[in-house]
Structure 1
Amino acid sequence: MSQDNKPFNEAIDHMNKVEGNVANLAKADLNKLPKPLKYFGYFMAGFFSIAILLIIILKLFS
């Protein structure tokens, strides 16, 4: 284990292992997510973006 990935203490190391946290987020490859999860994320981001724009436009006209 390199110095950068060394846990703060044993309790934090155990918690990270139990929760499945990535030791170094720079090494996490987000392109390996399942396709349905990716599409759901794209849908949610698009939905909220369009909803915010519609709310702003409707507030301007009322």
Structure 2
Amino acid sequence: MDEDKKPFNDAIDHMNKIEGNVSNLGNTDLEKLPRPLKYIGYFIVGFFLITILLLPILSFIL
């Protein structure tokens, strides 16, 4: 087992064997997601970015 994925005690090792190892959640490959999930993610991120950019502009206008 790799040093970075080695559990630090027996309880964590037991839970990983029972529930599955979720220690690599940060390493997900976004290109492997289904298209609808990618598009929903792009829409949500785009919506927030456009909102953040438009808020200061619209606050000066109105």
Q: TM-score, normalised by structure 1?
A: 0.68
2:46 corresponds to: 46
Structure 1 unaligned blocks of 5 or more: none
Structure 2 unaligned blocks of 5 or more: none
CA RMSD of aligned residues (A): 2.7
Give every structure 1 segment of 4 or more consecutive aligned residues whose post-TM-superposition deviation is greater than 4 Å: none
The structure-2 alpha-carbon separation of the partners of 1:33 and 1:24, relative to structure 1 and needing over 3 Å to count, comes to closer
- Identity, in percent, stands at 49
Between the aligned partners of 1:56 and 1:17, the Cα distance in structure 2 is 50
Secondary structure at 1:21's aligned position in 2? coil
Q: TM-score, normalised by structure 2?
A: 0.68
Secondary structure at 2:8's aligned position in 1? coil
Aligned positions, number = 61
Between the aligned partners of 1:16 and 1:39, the Cα distance in structure 2 is 34
Map of 1:1-62 to 2, 5 A cutoff?
1-13=1-13, 14=15, 18=19, 21-23=22-24, 25-26=26-27, 28-62=28-62
